[in-house]
Amino acid sequence: MVNNASVFHGEEEYECYQQIYPGDVITGTPKVVKIGKKESRSGSQVDTITVEVFYKNQRGENVANDENEDFKITGHFEAVLPNKG
């Protein structure tokens, strides 16, 4: 779980594989591909998270993907797993 109040959007890149039409139902599946650190412009260290989202249409065809990197200024990213009890 990430507190969005201290997360800032960094870079984003899209790749489209085919046309998307009105009426299509698009589903995105996110995947965390990298968690790391970067040096900010001010010289301090910030945590980063890179997430890739794969998009499919209602026929299960890949239509696009999106990779974005976000920065957390204070604290760090932490994963909260669902309680299975």
CATH superfamily of 4-72: Hotdog Thioesterase (3.10.129.10)
Q: Is the distance from CB of 40 to CB of 64 less than 8 angstroms? A: no
Dig out the tokens for 72 from the structure: 């957390």
pTM here?
A: 0.65
66 vs 72: which has the higher pLDDT: 66
Predicted confidence at residue 57, as pLDDT, reads 97
Q: How many CB atoms lie within 10 A of CB 49?
A: 19
pLDDT in tens, 14-70: 899 999 999 999 999 999 888 888 877 777 777 888 889 999 999 999 999 998 877
